[in-house]
Amino acid sequence: MKLFGLILLIASFLVGCSKEQNFDERVIYLISPEKIAGFDPINASDMYSSNEMGKVYEGLFEFHPLKRPYELMPNLAEAMPTVGDDGLTYTVKIKKGVFFQESPAFKGVKRELKAEDFVYSIKRLADPKLMSKGWWTLDDKLVGLNEWRAKYAQAEATNYADEIEGLKKVDDYTIQFKLKAPFPQFLYALAMPYSFVVAKEVVDFYGKEFLNFPVGTGAFVLPKFEQTNRLVYTKNPNFREKFYPSEGEDSDIANGLLADAGKKIPLVDKIVVDIIVEAQPKWLGFKRAKNDLLEVPKDNFQEVIVGTRELTDDFKSKGIRLHAEAQLDVTFISLNNQNDLFKDNKKLRQAISLAYNRAQANKLFYNDTAIEAQGVIPPGIAGYRKEFKNPYTKYDLVLAKKLLKEAGYPEGKGLPDLVVETRNDTSSRQILEQFADNMKDIGIKVIVGQNTWPELVNKVTTKRNMMYTMAWGADYPDAENFLGLLYCPNQSPGSNGANYCNPEFDKLYKQAVVLQDSPERTALYEKINEMVALEVPWVFSFNRTKYYVTQAWLKNYKFMEFNHTQFQYLNVDLEVKKQLSKKF
Amino acid sequence: MTRYILRRLIYTIPVLLGVSLIIFILFNLVSGDPTALLLGKNATAKQMVELREQLGLNKSLWLQYLDVVKSAFTFDFGRSWQSKQEIMHMVKMGAYPSLALSIPAFTISTILSILISLVVAFYRGKGIDLFIRILCIAGMSISSLVYILVFQWYFGYYLGWFEISGFEQGFPNFVPYVALPAIIWIVLSLGPDVRFFRTIILDEIYQDYVRTARAKGLGEKTILLKHVLRNAMIPIITYVVIQIPFLILGALLLESFFGIPGLGGMTLNALNSSDFPVVKAMAILSSVAYILFGLLTDILYTVADPRVKLK
Amino acid sequence: MKTNSLWVDAFRRLSRDKTAMMSLVIVIIFSVVAILSWMGILSAGWSQEVGGSNMPPSAEFIFGTDLFGRSVFDKVIHGTQIAMSVGLVTSLIAIPIGVVLGALAGYFGGWVDDLITWFYTTFSSIPNIMLLISITMILGKGIFAVYVALGATGWGSLCRLIRGEVMKHKEREYVQAAGAIGGGHMRKLFIHILPNVTHLVIINASLQFQTAIKSEVILSYLGLGVQGEPSWGTMIDDAKLELARGVWWQLAASTLAMFLIVLAFNLLGDALRDALDPKLKGK
């Protein structure tokens, strides 16, 4: 009994340790489900790092926070660029009177943003010594940049003073880019965090520690990245005159998203980001009002949502709002098209696809909210055609068995066990357990192989796999970003992990990617997508829908696929928070 | 004694060589080429070749191993491949939360277990002894993961007594965050600790000197606290001190479930992302700690019992 | 003769100990269940969809169903097979390594001892988690990898224990006598000394067994556990996503099963120690 007594005694000391809420400061509480490595924009390769960097750093362009389909607008650029008649020369004017945040590197001087800074920042992206994860965005694109990179690949240090023909400042407020060949996705590349602008003085001042001292031009300041699990951003007191947009979609007015139209941003004093990896604490924290915005974990779906778009009464009574939005992504089970089994055996690939019960998977893992993928391009991106239904993604065991027989494996006889590689988390395992179950119905035995991330990457890049699961999210809203996954020259170790090679596909792909956005290009994208869909290079799975819940007091939130710039627009209603907090 | 300590310190050399060899072999077998992972989902083949060169992966295995050995003796681990952060700084940042959780939890659970086992030894053979023994064993028979899941849900969320997850630097800011994981830690270690200490103490109780003391008319309590506890101290110290190096690594599961940015999570993360420099650093640092605390145990022996001579 | 009387005596004392007998019965029941499940007589249909998704316990499904509508009861039974085999094989790997290395080190001393001591110090100074992850990665996952990983990391403490014990026995008269009548080293070590430390091995085995069962849960949490079939570890791991929405039965059922067997092993280990370790007699 003493044992219990003592435990209770200690416990009671600690009770009430739970913290009180503060209603005076305008603070937003957010969550990052993954660790943040550092604050060097050239390495912002994942969504979560990008989100953090987007609070401090800025780029020339950004996606409009309200307009859909996604549309670029100038940010640090004065206006959208002027493009020369050849379609290769882009001239960008930048805003005057924009200043970097304060830093000891500037020695007390207010440092204005100049065209030179962009030239420097993009050279950093290409610097062979820095090995940026974003180099692919400009690889082989700008005149002279690859040569510059190659020149210093073996050298001790990179010389930034060299002039590069394709990347020049015209004057202090004008930059000129020259492309090697038409590259319609170029402006998207300039909107990605990789090309966010940094100041040379700061990089030189901190040296290798630069990644812990973010100094940008953005709306929020983080004096030092402490590598802890909590990041506290404060409002940048010297932020330029930037205003909340006054245009959006029709529904935005009704949703209160234009209430702050025309107001100077940022609208809050602080943003607190907690890094929480496990699902349970994240979710319990939201239910205790510890954070304002959370993606609904699939396993808590029933607790939150009735049907597909309605919150439960309990959540409604707390003023919580639901945001359900289709993602620009595709999940699939990649088949290794250079494996003897799948190579030249289209019928086997089709049989597997036909035996996969997507409706069941949708119900179990996505609560019936995902869209069954018909091809490579997801809805929301030009090239997706709603009317197109892939005949091989329906659930048809009879046809599957027939094709399996024609493929040379009647009732699975003679077919070796198929191993599908996946990551080592619980959901990945469950998704494949169901897939394996389905395959059993046509006589195929599937073994689920769980891997750590490095193992999986290695199995993919070295082609040592039969099948693996994958989800691909858009880097920018252009079908090129998806179709490239099946382009033969991109095969492993490149992004074509299925090692799919189809000369006809490659020819059409090369034609399409140099075209500017136009109806012809869209038609060509549609054609390629539908052609390759019938070939079943992957078992197409889903285009997922993301569900977010926000607390009643969080204002101006609208789902964004490319969301690293969206946080500067958020607002908080402290009155509402004060009233509602009693209910939590 | 100085000579003994010196000899033991020299003994760390072959152990460190062994540790670096094992880690090096395992890592090379395990992770193959880390470059694809380090360059992200759009990596190009050319860039992967360049990166291999930069990381020194093109050097002969022998030279690569020499690098590992060098860092084992200089403690210069360089920077993480994954986050590009300086590793010693990462270790420092991670050690704080790990220790903020493990030191109080470990101290409380050790003291508590000694107290409980004294009580149990005092009432040996009686109902309360049996009850606590069964409670200990029962407590040990449940997976630690179950404790974490259930306690977090019940005390953190349902009752709302504690912070569910997170961490803040500095005392007393971190107290609300580490309280619940610390309690789980204590509950987890009470069972094995009490069982072990009880055995040790009972072992002493049946020694001759206790009988002599009793014959002299000393009270049971005095015997227990003055004589028995003192003699039982040696095995207890060994048991306790030997656990300390593992405290530094922190409690992996507790850290990840309660969002504590400690060394355990850092190590796991490094293993999960082929971050060899970090894995190497953690293996070497923890084996140095293991050896040093082993030495400390021996020295404490002589303090607790002057009869023990170190040769 | 000493040995014989010890064992006879121990057995007599064990059979009078009610808790120990109960524990033994539980261990036997679990073993039988494991064997029947292995032979396909029990829980062969664990992978069949028998009901709706996540149905709470009812008369039809006493432990409810899981996400895929499979019977949790069947999964627990199948998990028993996994758990018992993990415990058994792990012990079969770890104990011989520990005993042989410990005995050699303790008996021969000198450079043999130095080498073996170096070996286990090196091994035990590396955090276990690193070895576990690396080994399972090299062996490519699955139950085989679990066996080897847990076996390869579990021998250190037994090795140290046996080494110390053999050192003590080496100096004893009976060993000296065996030497005098011309017994070789191996004969002395394996015929004369080892039987006298067997009780330590048995006690250690019962600990090893239950530690392995518990470690399987942690491996499953890390995604390194058994693949493609249910184990208690994967069931508890599933619960980390389920608990918050009130699906508690998978967690409860697997925890209960694990609780029983680990408890039984703990109690049995205690009873064995009391019965076999003469030093602790009468406590």
Chain B partners within 8 Å of A279 (Cβ): none
Residues B102, B39, single domain; the answer is no
* pLDDT of res. B249: 61
Residues B24, B112, single domain; the answer is no
Domains in chain C: ranges and CATH: 34-46+62-280 (1.10.3720.10)
* pLDDT of res. C278: 56
Chain B partners within 8 Å of A230 (Cβ): 166-168
Burial C203-236 (b: 16+ CB within 10 A, else e): bbbbbbbbbbbbbbbbbbbbbbbbbbbbbbbbbb
- Measured between CB atoms, which of C133, C238, C244 is closest to A300? C244
How far apart, in Å, do the first and last CA atoms of chain B sit?
7
Burial of residue A325 (number of CB atoms within 10 Å: 0-12, 13-18, 19+) = middle
Closest-CA distance, B302 to chain A, in angstroms, reads 33
Question: pLDDT tens for residues A290-305?
Answer: 899 999 877 677 778 8
Give how many domains chain B has, as a whole number: 2
* pLDDT of res. C93: 93
Chain B partners within 8 Å of A290 (Cβ): 164
Residues B133, B9, single domain; the answer is no
Question: In this complex, do C259 and B142 lie within 8 Å of one another by their Cβ atoms?
Answer: yes
C137 CB near a chain B CB, below 8 Å? yes
Identify the domain containing residue B13 by its residue range: 2-74
**Domain annotation covers residue B44:** yes
Closest-CA distance, B197 to chain C, in angstroms, reads 14
Residues B131, B260, single domain; the answer is yes
Chains with 3 or more CB pairs under 8 A to chain B: A, C
Cα–Cα distance for residue pair B84/B81, rounded to 1 Å: 5
Question: In this complex, do A430 and C237 lie within 8 Å of one another by their Cβ atoms?
Answer: no
Which pairing describes strands A167-171 and A174-178: parallel, antiparallel, or unpaired? antiparallel
Question: In this complex, do A424 and C222 lie within 8 Å of one another by their Cβ atoms?
Answer: yes
- Measured between CB atoms, which of C119, C121, C236 is closest to B146? C236
A288 CB near a chain C CB, below 8 Å? no
Question: In this complex, do A279 and C240 lie within 8 Å of one another by their Cβ atoms?
Answer: yes
A238 CB near a chain C CB, below 8 Å? no
How far apart, in Å, do the first and last CA atoms of chain A sit?
34
Percent of all residues in chain A with a pLDDT value above 70, rounded to a whole number: 96
Question: In this complex, do A450 and C133 lie within 8 Å of one another by their Cβ atoms?
Answer: no
pLDDT at C159 over 80: yes
Identify the residue among A300, A423, A425, A433 best suited for mutation to test binding to C, counting C beta carbons within 10 A and taking the highest: A433
- Measured between CB atoms, which of B44, B179, B261 is closest to A494? B44
Cα–Cα distance for residue pair B180/B176, rounded to 1 Å: 8
Task: Evaluate whether C154 touches C212 at the Cβ level (below 8 Å).
Answer: yes
Cα–Cα distance for residue pair C71/A419, rounded to 1 Å: 26
Chain A partners within 8 Å of C224 (Cβ): 424, 450
Task: Evaluate whether A76 touches A59 at the Cβ level (below 8 Å).
Answer: yes
What are A445's two structure tokens? 């035995």
Question: pLDDT tens for residues C17-39?
Answer: 888 889 899 999 999 999 998 88
Chain C partners within 8 Å of A300 (Cβ): 244-245
Would you call A164 helix, strand, or coil by DSSP? Answer: strand
Q: For the residues A468-480, what does the mean pLDDT come to?
A: 92
Running DSSP on this structure, what letter comes out for residue A513? H
Closest residue by Cα to residue A542 from A327, A384, A335, A395: A327
Domain end, chosen from B46, B74, B102, is at B74
Confidence band of C258 (pLDDT split at 50, 70, 90): very high
Q: How many CB atoms are closer than 10 A to CB B175?
A: 17
- Measured between CB atoms, which of C140, C240, C245 is closest to A303? C245
Question: In this complex, do B253 and C221 lie within 8 Å of one another by their Cβ atoms?
Answer: yes
**What does each C-alpha distance from A223 to A103, A210, B79, B132, B141 come to in angstroms?**
8, 12, 22, 53, 48
Domain end, chosen from B45, B74, B103, is at B74
Identify the residue among C50, C241, C247 best suited for mutation to test binding to A, counting A beta carbons within 10 A and taking the highest: C241
What is the Cβ-side half-sphere exposure of residue C188, based on CA atoms within 13 angstroms?
Answer: 23
CA angle A119, A125, A131 (to 5 degrees): 155
Cis peptide upstream of residue A493 (ω within 30 degrees of 0)? yes
Question: pLDDT tens for residues B14-58?
Answer: 888 998 888 888 877 666 678 877 887 777 778 888 888 888 888
Closest-CA distance, A330 to chain C, in angstroms, reads 24
* pLDDT of res. C281: 43
Closest-CA distance, B3 to chain C, in angstroms, reads 18
* pLDDT of res. A17: 45
Closest-CA distance, C147 to chain B, in angstroms, reads 18
Percent of all residues in chain B with a pLDDT value above 70, rounded to a whole number: 95
Chain A partners within 8 Å of C234 (Cβ): 429
Residues B100, B65, single domain; the answer is no
* pLDDT of res. A16: 43
Considering only CB atoms, which residues of chain B are within 8 Å of chain C? 14-15, 18-19, 22-23, 26-27, 29-31, 124, 137-138, 140-146, 149-150, 153, 157, 199, 202-203, 206, 245-246, 249, 252-253, 267-268, 271, 279, 282-283, 286-287, 290-291, 294
The CATH number assigned to the domain holding B202 equals 1.10.3720.10
- Helix residue spans in A226-296 (DSSP H): 250-254, 279-287
Running DSSP on this structure, what letter comes out for residue A568? G
Question: pLDDT tens for residues C47-62?
Answer: 777 887 778 888 888 8
Listing DSSP states for chain B in one string gives -HHHHHHHHHHHHHHHHHHHHHHHHHHHHHH---HHHHH-TT--HHHHHHHHHHHTTTS-HHHHHHHHHHHHHH----B-TTT--BHHHHHHHHHHHHHHHHHHHHHHHHHHHHHHHHHHHHTTTSHHHHHHHHHHHHHHTS-HHHHHHHHIIIIIIIS--S-SS---SSTTTTHHHHHHHHHHHHHHHHHHHHHHHHHHHHHHHTSHHHHHHHHTT--HHHIIIIIIHHHHHHHHHHHHHTTHHHHHT--HHHHHHTT---HHHHHHHHHHTT-HHHHHHHHHHHHHHHHHHHHHHHHHHHHH-TT----
Residues B42, B128, single domain; the answer is no
Cα–Cα distance for residue pair A226/A38, rounded to 1 Å: 9
311 residues of chain B, pLDDT tens digit each: 788 888 888 888 888 899 888 888 887 766 667 887 788 777 777 888 888 888 888 888 888 888 888 888 888 898 998 888 899 988 988 888 888 999 999 999 999 999 999 888 888 878 888 888 888 888 888 988 899 888 988 888 888 888 888 787 777 888 888 999 999 999 989 988 898 888 888 878 877 888 888 888 888 888 888 888 888 887 888 788 878 777 766 577 888 888 888 888 888 888 878 788 998 898 888 888 888 888 888 787 777 666 666 65
* pLDDT of res. A404: 95
Residues B36, B152, single domain; the answer is no
* pLDDT of res. A396: 95
Question: In this complex, do A287 and B157 lie within 8 Å of one another by their Cβ atoms?
Answer: yes
Domains in chain A: ranges and CATH: 57-213 (3.90.76.10), 329-543 (3.10.105.10)
A22 CB near a chain B CB, below 8 Å? no
Chain B partners within 8 Å of C237 (Cβ): 145
Chain A partners within 8 Å of C56 (Cβ): none
* pLDDT of res. A478: 94
Task: Evaluate whether A32 touches A563 at the Cβ level (below 8 Å).
Answer: no
C226 versus A263: the higher-pLDDT residue is A263
Q: How many CB atoms are closer than 10 A to CB A174?
A: 14
Question: In this complex, do B286 and C122 lie within 8 Å of one another by their Cβ atoms?
Answer: no
Q: Which of B:9-38 have CB within 8 Å of A?
A: 30-34, 36-38
Q: How many CB atoms are closer than 10 A to CB A123?
A: 21
Burial of residue B135 (number of CB atoms within 10 Å: 0-12, 13-18, 19+) = middle
CA angle A518, A521, A523 (to 5 degrees): 110
pLDDT at C123 over 70: yes
Residues B191, B58, single domain; the answer is no
Q: For the residues A194-212, what does the mean pLDDT come to?
A: 95
| Inter-chain contacts counted by CB atoms under 8 A, chains A and C | 67
B219 CB near a chain A CB, below 8 Å? no
**Domain annotation covers residue B246:** yes
Question: In this complex, do A278 and B179 lie within 8 Å of one another by their Cβ atoms?
Answer: no
Chain C partners within 8 Å of A435 (Cβ): none
Look at the alpha carbons of C136, C139, C144, C147 in this order and tell me if their dihedral is positive or negative: negative
Residues B147, B17, single domain; the answer is no
Question: In this complex, do A2 and B116 lie within 8 Å of one another by their Cβ atoms?
Answer: yes
Q: Which of A:226-255 have CB within 8 Å of B?
A: 226-230
Residues B68, B116, single domain; the answer is no
Closest-CA distance, C68 to chain B, in angstroms, reads 22
- Measured between CB atoms, which of A14, A153, A277 is closest to B50? A153
Q: Which residue of C has its CA nearest to A427?
A: C238
Closest-CA distance, A529 to chain C, in angstroms, reads 33
**Domain annotation covers residue B82:** no
Question: In this complex, do C47 and A427 lie within 8 Å of one another by their Cβ atoms?
Answer: no
Chain A partners within 8 Å of B132 (Cβ): 3
Residues B64, B122, single domain; the answer is no
Residues B241, B190, single domain; the answer is yes
Chain A partners within 8 Å of C133 (Cβ): 452
A185 CB near a chain B CB, below 8 Å? no
Q: Which residue of B has its CA nearest to C118?
A: B15
- Measured between CB atoms, which of A2, A14, A230 is closest to B179? A14
**Domain annotation covers residue B81:** no
